[in-house]
């Protein structure tokens, strides 16, 4: 299996190429400039592997939730590449990618993934690891930090920069959290791992249906 993965949902920008059991990745925290960096990252990975986009089986992308502009960039590039090469697309949850990374690094089986949504809000969801992959126990939600509550008492592994942006969140959850990585950001390598499972199960979409998930309806912030 060959899968190209893209992510620009946060201040991190990354691309990854999965070839069977091997993953190569480009990852940078850049804040801005994702539109200029993401496609060159993907091109570099393909060149280094000695393959063309037409030899890839599918393209995965971080479909959100995340920043409005960043999500449009990853979705747009995924759509363009997939349409040109006639490839299927695998939209992957950025919160699930956070959960997978946290489980891999800590061994935790229950993860509370939380990303900063700005405007005093967070994106969050609770996951349980099953057969090595995160299974969603809640819907993905947009909420004020005081609206975040895992579905059971715990223990939970907190993960994601939503905790870093809102330190009071971890303080409120207290003993429900067994551990915390408040700096964790989504990576294309985890998008690729999750995307490979979806691709193997046949859960793909055509390029025009590769759409972001914003959660926030009012995506234009008026000052």
What's the CATH code of the domain at 76? 3.30.420.40
Region 192-217 average pLDDT: 95
Domain that holds residue 161: 94-181
**Do residues 63 and 42 share a domain?**
yes
Phi-psi region of 17 (alpha: psi -120 to 50; beta: other; left: phi over 0): beta
**Do residues 48 and 130 share a domain?**
no
pLDDT on residue 222: 35
Q: What percent of the chain has pLDDT above 70? A: 97
pLDDT at 20 over 50: yes
**Do residues 116 and 168 share a domain?**
yes
Residue 31: band (very low, low, confident or very high) from pLDDT cuts 50, 70, 90:
confident
| Entry pTM | 0.95
In angstroms, the Cα distances linking 30 to 60, 69, 111, 150, 157 are 21, 14, 26, 31, 27
**Do residues 29 and 13 share a domain?**
yes
Q: Does some domain include residue 223?
A: no
pLDDT at 1 over 60: yes
pLDDT at 219 over 80: no
**Do residues 147 and 198 share a domain?**
no
Region 187-196 average pLDDT: 98
Q: Does some domain include residue 11?
A: yes
Query: Each residue of 64-102: pLDDT tens digit?
Result: 999 999 999 999 999 999 999 999 999 999 999 999 999
Alpha-carbon Rg for the chain in angstroms: 17
**Do residues 11 and 71 share a domain?**
yes
**Do residues 169 and 192 share a domain?**
no
pLDDT at 217 over 80: no
**Do residues 20 and 9 share a domain?**
yes
Residue 216: band (very low, low, confident or very high) from pLDDT cuts 50, 70, 90:
confident
pLDDT at 206 over 80: yes
Query: Each residue of 131-157: pLDDT tens digit?
Result: 999 999 999 999 999 999 999 988 999
pLDDT at 218 over 60: no
Q: Does some domain include residue 222?
A: no
pLDDT at 220 over 60: no
User: Considering all CA atoms of the chain, what is the largest pairwise distance in Å, rounded to the nearest integer?
Assistant: 50
**Do residues 89 and 190 share a domain?**
yes
How far is 74 from 39, CA to CA, in rounded Å?
9
pLDDT at 122 over 60: yes
Query: Each residue of 156-168: pLDDT tens digit?
Result: 999 999 999 999 9
């Amino acid at each position: 299996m060959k899968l190209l993965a893209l992510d620009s949902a946060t201040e991190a920008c990354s691309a990854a190429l999965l070839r069977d059991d091997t993953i190569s990745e480009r990852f940078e925290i850049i804040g801005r400039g994702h539109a200029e960096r993401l496609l060159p990252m993907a091109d570099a990975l393909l060149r280094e592997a000695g393959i063309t986009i037409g030899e890839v089986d599918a393209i995965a992308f971080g479909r959100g939730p995340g920043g409005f502009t960043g999500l449009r960039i990853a979705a747009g590039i995924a759509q363009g590449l997939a349409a040109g090469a006639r490839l299927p697309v695998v939209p992957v949850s950025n919160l699930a990618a956070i959960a997978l990374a946290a489980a891999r690094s800590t061994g935790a089986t229950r993860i509370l993934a939380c990303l900063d949504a700005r405007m005093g809000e967070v994106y969050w969801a609770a996951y349980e690891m099953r057969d090595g992959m995160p299974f969603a126990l809640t819907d993905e939600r947009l909420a004020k930090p005081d609206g975040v509550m895992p579905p059971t008492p715990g223990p939970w592994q907190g993960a994601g920069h939503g905790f870093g942006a809102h330190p009071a969140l971890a303080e409120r959850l207290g003993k429900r959290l067994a551990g915390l990585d408040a700096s964790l950001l989504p990576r294309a390598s985890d998008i690729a791992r999750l995307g490979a499972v979806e691709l193997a199960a046949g859960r793909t979409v055509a390029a025009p249906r590769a759409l972001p998930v914003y959660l926030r309806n009012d995506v234009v912030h008026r000052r």
